[in-house]
Chain A
Amino acid sequence: MENIFTDLAALINGFLAGAPPWLQTLAMGIVYLVGVLAFIFLNAIYLIYLERKISAYMQQRIGPNRLGPHGLLQSVADAVKLLGKEDIIPRGADKWVFIIASVIIFIPAVMVYAIIPFGKGMIPVDLNIGVFYFLAVASMTTIAILMGGWGANNKYALLGSMRAVAQMVSYEIPLTFSLLGVIMLAGSLQTSQIVAAQSNVWYILLQPLAFLIYFIAATAEVNRAPFDLVEGEQELIAGPYIEYTGMRYALFYLSEYANLVSVSALAVTLFLGGWQGPWLPSWLWFLIKVYIMIFIFMWLRWTFPRIRIDHLLSFNWKVLLPLSLANILVTGVGIKIYQLLTLGRW
């Protein structure tokens, strides 16, 4: 069980043994991409189901229970329905911006998975600047949301996308700073090395504050309640997504769930020891931890009301940012003191 996916990759690689090296690289790249896409789609479909079930149990309802056993096929049916919907592009919309935005939003959502270690030896591309790559690519999402909101030529969409920019750009800063503490401890930006460095102790124990900041900032970064101001259903109805229909609308939601999984996966990688764990296969451990993170995200969403935009920003600049800076300072001093005690020198 442990090596089921790595063996599969080796098998495919074996088929290509005689082929030129560039073809091998390309083919393996496509295999990894298909694997990641399958992971995202399956996750998105079943996270929607999970979200509906969890919210239902929190609200004394039953949730979807008609299609398939326990309603397991509900999301599949929804996806099929969305595929069959008419693709409406409003007459007043900026046509190309509007169309491209729904595609662009999905690209960074997939790209960030390149550096996630799904299990032992299961990392699509082991970049030496892994965490940096993740943050850089993830920040592109803002542009897509802004394009969607601007292109729709709708006032609600415009307000929503303006909120998106204000919110996501601000929260990227404490998000990044909170990760710096971990990077200083591990001494590397490479996700595989960060996981390896946690073989003795998980970084959530050494960096509890950083984890908390990361968690809050990540909630804001993926626009989930209580920070779902971008959609703001009760005020902006759906914000930037207001004019989207059918599969374009679905793409936005798909990328939202893909982002949810990726920030959870990053949290697991950086704070919760990645795929490490006893007895069970490493990829299963990774999944279990990711789902625990996702459950906490969902728990928050169905408990808290939505925060106000000015509170959101002042909380970011006045609380999270100073705390994350202080965390870096304390971590730096702590590392030096530790070195002094163990090695007898700075």
Chain B
Amino acid sequence: MLAVAKEDLYTQEIELNMGPQHPSTHGVYRALLTLDGEKVIKVENIIGYLHRGIEKLAEDRTYTQFIPYTARLDYLAGMLNNLGYVQAVEKLMGVAVPERAEYLRIIMAELSRIASHMIMVASMALDLSGWTAWFPPFRERERILDLFEMTCGSRITVSYMRIGGVAADIPDGFLPALEAFLNDLPGMIAEMNGLITGNEIFKARCQGVGKIDLETALAYGLTGPNLRACGLPFDLRKAKPYGIYDRFDFDIPTLSNGDSYDRFVIRLLEMEQSARIIRQAMAALPDGSVMAKVPRVLKPSPGEVYHQIEGAKGILGYYLVSDGSNKPYRLHIHGPSFVNLGALPRIAAGGNIQDFVVAIASIDIVLGEVDR
């Protein structure tokens, strides 16, 4: 037995840079982890690798020219970002949108939400090394992107919404293809449940991991599915309906544990509700124009507006200030991923490295929206 004085024995903490190039950081994000062995003691968010100055760019673009930039924020849910921005401008100018366009917006926005949630469940499964579970959501997401392509020519950065309506009416084959997709969606969800949600290893890895209680979640300003997984049925589509969301009948799924597992499951549940909304919108889709008569040059009268919608990842807000010219004086974007990422150090501290990977996957960040 070697005689070692107690004060000579010590544990050294390791500082580990996870990212900006790392398979599980979901983009160019860096986490500075302080490790004791494998245990994560402290997490520090380091962001800004994808900063493009989008808010500043807005000040040098006309109101219409800025639409394509919005889809580069949360590039997994381009339609929703488009929607939030154009509705903010419409609110500022008081533009009325034709009925058909409103319904098309709902269909597209909810499809975009489903696509975004599909990415989340797929990549979370993949972050736990569930390779095969990556494929069913991506297979179905491909069909959503095909629908987008059919309508506006683009798949990810859609730029489909316009101030006063939408860019194009849906083509002939759209509704049958959408119907077929909605019919297959429950099958995909069942496939995921069979493959990964009910898996014992998956449950052991996710349940109780990255837990956050409702009060802390509210204090950090978490919104969207992450908040609803803590037990609060707060959804802007119900709480403060924008567009024509008050016309649809749907539920707000909530779960109570606030752990990574619930954050995963709630996405699957929300897909079903989005599908319900889309079905109702399809049934009620009126005929008519898809674009209101708006002037060619948009010059809102001086003033300011804040408009927020329920994005795929939480509350997405646009704050617009107009000085009466054809360009925004100031645009601020409230991105849900940025807020959710702020809670990550709290959520992930105390677990080990594998738990950290689960936690970061479960809060579902998109770096385009974090860094803007």
Q: Are B135 and A302 in contact (CB under 8 A)?
A: no
**Residue from A58, A156, A233, A308 having most chain B Cβ neighbours under 10 A:** A308
Cβ proximity bits A198-228 to B, threshold 8 Å, 1 near / 0 not: 0000000000000000000000000001101
B204 x A307 contact (CB < 8 A): yes
Bound together, the chains give a CA A185 to CA B70 distance in angstroms of 71
B23 contacts across to A, CB distance below 8 A = 233-234, 237
CB neighbours (8 Å) of A58 from chain B are: 132
Q: Is A117 an interface residue (CB 8 A)?
A: no
Query: From residue B25, how far is it (CB to closest CB) to chain A in Å?
Result: 10
Q: Is the CB of B205 within 8 A of A308?
A: yes
In angstroms, Cα B354 to Cα A228, docked, is 12
The chain A residue with its CB closest to the CB of B195 is A303
Which of B83-91, B121-129, B145-153, B305-313 is found at the contact surface with chain A?
B121-129
Q: Mark B7-28, 1 if CB is under 8 A from A, else 0.
A: 0000000101000001110000
The answer to whether A234 and B24 have CB atoms under 8 Å apart is: yes
Can you report 11 A-B residue pairs in the complex whose CB atoms are below 8 A from each other?
Answer: A58-B132, A59-B135, A162-B37, A226-B201, A232-B354, A234-B23, A235-B357, A304-B130, A305-B130, A305-B133, A309-B352
Verify B196–A305 contact, CB threshold 8 A.
yes
How far apart are the CA atoms of A112 and B356 in the complex, in Å?
A: 38
**Sample of 8 more A-B contacts, CB < 8 Å, known A237-B22, A305-B133:** A59-B131, A60-B139, A225-B129, A233-B23, A234-B129, A235-B353, A235-B357, A305-B129
Q: Is B352 a contact of A306 with CB atoms below 8 Å?
A: no
A305 with B202: CB separation less than 8 A: yes
Whether the Cβ atoms of B135 and A61 lie closer than 8 Å is yes
Complex CA distance for A59 and B191, rounded to whole angstroms = 12
B355 within 8 A of A: yes
CA distance A303 to B125 in the complex (A): 11
Binding site for A on B (CB under 8 A): 14, 16, 22-24, 35, 37-38, 125-135, 139, 195-196, 199, 201-202, 204-205, 352-357
A159 to B24, CA, bound (A): 17
Contacts of A55 in B (CB 8 A): 131-132
Which residues of chain B are within 8 angstroms of A225 by Cβ–Cβ distance?
Answer: 129
Give every chain B residue within 8 A of A311 (Cβ-Cβ): 201, 204-205
Given contacts A60-B139, A159-B38, A228-B129, contact A236 B353 (CB under 8 A): yes
Contact among A162, A233, A234, A302 with B132 in the assembled complex (CB-CB below 8 Å)? A302
Q: B199 near A304 (CB under 8 angstroms)?
A: yes
Check if B129 sits within 8 Å of A233, measured CB to CB. yes
A86 is an interface residue with CB less than 8 A from chain B? no
Q: How far is the CB of B143 from chain A (nearest CB, A)?
A: 14
Mask: chain A, 240-273; 1 = CB below 8 Å from B; 0 = not: 0000000000000000000000000000000000
Query: Which residues on the B side are within 8 Å of A155 (C-beta)?
Result: 14, 16
A interface residues, tally (CB under 8 Å): 29
Interchain CB contact under 8 A, A307 and B131: no
Measured CA separation A155–B201 after assembly (Å): 27
| A243–B243 CA distance with the chains assembled, in angstroms | 53
**In the complex where A59-B135, A235-B353 touch, is A306 in contact with B38 (Cβ < 8 A)?**
no
Residues in B with CB closer than 8 Å to A306 are 128-129, 201, 205, 354
Asked if B129 and A308 sit within 8 Å, CB to CB, the answer is no
In chain A, positions 112-163 with a C-beta closer than 8 Å to chain B are: 155-156, 159, 162-163
Q: Are A309 and B354 in contact (CB under 8 A)?
A: yes
Q: Which 7 A-B pairs have the closest CB atoms?
A: A306-B129, A305-B128, A305-B130, A59-B135, A234-B24, A234-B127, A235-B353
By the criterion CB–CB under 8 Å, are A307 and B135 in contact?
A: no
Residues B38 and A307 in contact, CB atoms below 8 Å apart: no
CB < 8 Å: which of A237, A302, A307 contacts B205?
Answer: A307
Chain B residues with CB under 8 Å of A159's CB are 16, 35, 38, 353
Please give the distance in Å from A107's CB to the nearest CB on chain B.
29
Q: Are B38 and A234 closer than 8 Å at their CB atoms? A: no
B356 CB contacts on chain A under 8 angstroms: 235
**Nearest-CB distance from A73 to chain B (Å)?**
24
- CB neighbors of B among A160-202 (8 A): 162-163
Q: Does the CB pair A310–B132 fall under 8 Å?
A: no
User: In the complex, what's the smallest C-beta–C-beta distance from A249 to chain B, in angstroms?
Assistant: 17
Q: Closest approach, in angstroms, between the C-beta of B343 and any C-beta of chain A?
A: 21
A237 contacts across to B, CB distance below 8 A:
22-23
Across the interface, do A310 and B353 meet the contact criterion of CB distance under 8 Å? no
Taking the closest CB of chain A, its distance from the CB of B363, in whole angstroms, is 16
Q: How far is the CB of A325 from chain B (nearest CB, A)?
A: 24
A300 CB to closest chain B CB, in angstroms? 11
Which of B35, B38, B133, B202 has the most CB atoms of chain A within a 10 A radius of its CB?
B38
Does the CB pair A308–B204 fall under 8 Å? yes
Taking CB as reference atom, which chain B residue is nearest A60? B135
Residue among A59, A235, A311 with the most chain B CB within 10 A?
A235
Query: In the assembled complex, how far is the CB of residue A60 from the closest CB belonging to chain B, in whole angstroms?
Result: 6
- Most chain B Cβ neighbours within 10 Å, of A163, A226, A307: A307
Cβ of A305: which chain B residues have Cβ within 8 Å of it? 125, 128-130, 133, 196, 199, 201-202, 205
CA distance A202 to B37 in the complex (A): 45
Residue-wise interface mask of A (272-311) relative to B, using a CB-CB cutoff of 8 A (1 in contact, 0 not): 0000000000000000000000000000001111111111
Per the bound structure, the CA–CA distance linking A308 and B201 in Å amounts to: 8
- Asked whether, in the complex, the Cβ of A59 is within 8 Å of the Cβ of B132, the reply is yes
| B residues in contact with A303, CB < 8 Å | 132, 195
CB proximity to B under 8 Å, residues A39-73: 55, 58-61
Which residues in A have their C-beta under 8 angstroms from that of B14? 155
**Of B23, B125, B196, B354, most A-chain CB atoms within 10 Å:** B354
Please indicate the chain A residues that have their CB under 8 angstroms from the CB of B24 in the complex: 234-235
CB A343 to nearest CB in B, in angstroms, measures 45
Q: Which residue of A lies closest to B21 (CB)?
A: A237
From A61, A162, A234, A310, B352 is in contact (CB under 8 Å) with A310
Min Cβ gap A276→B in Å is 35
B contact residues around A234 at 8 Å (CB): 23-24, 126-129, 357
Contact partners of A59 in chain B: CB under 8 A? 131-132, 134-135
Task: Report the nearest B residue to A302, measured CB to CB.
Answer: B132
**Interchain nearest-CB distance for B329 vs A (Å):** 44
Docked CA distance A233–B129 (Å): 8
B206 closest partner in A (C-beta): A305
Chain A residues contacting B132 (CB-CB under 8 Å) are 55, 58-59, 302-303
B354 touches which one: A61, A162, A308 (CB < 8 A)?
A308
Partner of A308, one of B16, B134, B355: B355
* Bound-state Cα–Cα, A237 to B23, Å: 7
